[in-house]
Amino acid sequence: MTRPRILVTENLGAAGLQYLQQRADVDAHHLLPVQELPGLMNQYDAIIIRSAHRLTRELLKDHPRLKVVARAGAGVDNIDLDAATELGIAVINAPGANAIAAAEHTFGLMLAVMRNIVAGDAHVRGGGWDRAAYLGQELHGKRLGIIGLGRVGRQVARIAHGFRLEVAAYDPFLSPDIFEAHDVRQVTQLEDLLSAVDIITIHTPKTGPHLDERLLERLPKGAIVINAARGGLIDEGSLSRLLQAGHISGAGFDVFTSEPPKADSPLLQAPHVVTTPHLGGSTHEAMVEVGVMTARGVIDALNNQTPPNLVNVPIPDLPERNLKTLDRAVRLLANLFSRLNEHFDTPLVLSLNHSFNPSVRPWLRQAALAWLLQERVDERVNTVNALLIAQRQGVRLLVQGDQSDGDDPRLGLRLEGHPETEIQVTVGASGILLKKIAGIPVDIVWPEQALLTRHRDAPGVVGRVGSLVGQYDVNIGQLHLGRRDPHEEALMILTLDADPPEELLESLRRLPDIDSVYAFSHL
């Protein structure tokens, strides 16, 4: 198989680059001149950037070879997500790769502010030794408020428990079980969180809440404010005024509305402020992890797998192993269904049993549509653009609950009103099991190479098929049978050691009582 070609426009780090080079042909630059990128876009399957380049709609369009673009970092502001989605280009980033670094830096700022570390250092260097003037506060027992309980926020909570802080958080996008899992008290109104903490730290993207003067005034007198997330999330002028007035006793800032901050920045003039030059995610360990996470996501996407760091698809918050298993299950389900059903004359129904969290539904819907449509349209279709292509093709997919018994996650796919079309799989400890094919109960692990017949349940059919397969020197590993009722439609699935030749398939289709024959390889 031809190895993909990948362009790396900026320094990715040795570990990430090595991961790519083991699996692809890579052209790597320390810093590719911006003007050279447009002329190279046609030559690569994937392009990885950092901050120096912008991938606009104009750059992304008209490059049929390009399948994946990635930013080696958390934000993707310099990639046109709408254009990439319309073009079926997967967008990869490295969210959370620097979560530990950012969380640790948050506590570095916290401790520096509360224990007067920066001012104390300057005092000693100036020849002073006035311990009383730099009396600090302990973290122990304080009330910490976290705005945004994402990857960084959760790491902040983890560290906070070690300091014996009381931890509460506000994040309207998370279910209560997430807060419970991280031993964090959920607060559903931002104003309520601000009024009940000693320290507030924010860990959201730029679209998160903006702390203006009205909100900052809700903090108790003497509170500490930390921002190691994004510049502009906290009104720096308002915070400066509250620091000058003594309402807020200190602040730690790693990010600013304008970077670097101007000399007349109000925060630089305010008392009791510790600043750093956007160092939150900048550790040797984090830089390695960013490169490796980006590289792994790009290779997974090029291999038609679903990486957890795929930006323009609603990836559920699942352990990576569970995500990959579920990805394989929906791929098998949709591929089998598409082969066995020539026409989608009615809406399709994807059924999920009670074991699935509702958060997986949007992704499963897109993934199922992508695999259903891949062999039916001439244009590129994948999980990224499946909804757009399905809409153009007039294909509707409904997602419904399934009340069937059993604790293992169960997925089914059928034409609405036609239970005889249903294919069903379960995902359990023993792997992915097919439980129904064309509405007929089965119980098998799907093989690498398989031959499937739909036939009338009649004496001699199994023997004739097995004999004919043997004549073509194709070895049968296992045989599975299923039927609707005696003497009605039946299925036979043969596990083969090699792909069957087309002549064998044609000969099988001519046998008595055989309705249809399908060959499958590496679904």
Condensed to tens digits (0 to 9), the pLDDT of residues 83-110 reads 999 999 999 999 888 899 999 999 999 9
Compute CA distances 182 → 111, 143, 158, 281, 507, whole Å. Answer: 23, 16, 7, 22, 61
Question: Hey, which residues are catalytic here?
Answer: 230, 259, 278
**For the ranges 18-22, 256-260, 470-474, the one whose mean pLDDT is highest:** 18-22
> Residue 378's pLDDT is what?
87
Higher local confidence (pLDDT), 438 or 281: 438
pLDDT(507) > 70: yes
Say if residues 289 and 73 touch (Cβ distance below 8 Å): no
What secondary structure letter does DSSP report for 480?
A: E
Q: Lowest-pLDDT range, 13-22, 61-70, 373-382?
A: 373-382
Domains of the chain: 5-97+287-312 (3.40.50.720), 99-275 (3.40.50.720), 317-446 (3.30.1330.90), 448-523 (3.30.70.260)
- Burial (Cβ within 10 Å: 0-12, 13-18, ≥19) of residue 518: middle
**Model pLDDT, residue 1:** 65
Q: What is the pLDDT of residues 274-285, one digit of tens each?
A: 999 999 988 999
Q: Output the CA–CA distances (angstroms, integers) from residue 5 to 17, 35, 224, 265, 315, in the order listed.
A: 13, 20, 49, 46, 26
Cβ atoms within 10 Å of 430's Cβ, excluding its own: 9
Can you tell me the mean pLDDT for 308-317? 90
Q: Of 22-26, 49-53, 483-487, which has the strongest mean pLDDT? A: 22-26
- Using one digit for the tens of pLDDT, what is the confidence trace for 373-398? 988 888 899 999 999 999 999 999 99
Tell me the pLDDT band of 177, cut-offs 50, 70 and 90: confident
The C-alpha R_g of the chain, in whole angstroms, comes to 29
Residue 474 makes CB contacts below 8 A (sequence gap 6+) with 496, 497, 498, 500, 501, 504
Is a pLDDT exceeding 80 seen at residue 41?
A: yes
Element (H, E) at 124: helix 117-125
SS3 of 425-465: the string is EEEECCEEEEEEECCEEEEEECCCEEEEEEEECCCCHHHHH
257: exposed, middle or buried (Cβ count in 10 Å: 0-12, 13-18, 19+): middle
Handedness of CA 379, 382, 384, 386 (dihedral sign): positive
Q: What is the mean pLDDT of the chain?
A: 93
Query: Percent of the chain having pLDDT more than 70?
Result: 99
pLDDT value at residue 274: 98
Q: What is the pLDDT of residue 366?
A: 95
**Burial (CB count <10 Å: 0-12, 13-18, 19+), residue 122:** exposed
Quick check: 405 pLDDT over 80? Answer: no
Specify the 3-state DSSP secondary structure of 479. Answer: strand
Taken as a whole, the chain contains a residue count of 523
How far CA 271 is from CA of 68, 87, 154, 257, 405, in Å, comes to 47, 51, 30, 19, 63
Q: Judge whether residue 359 has pLDDT over 90.
A: no
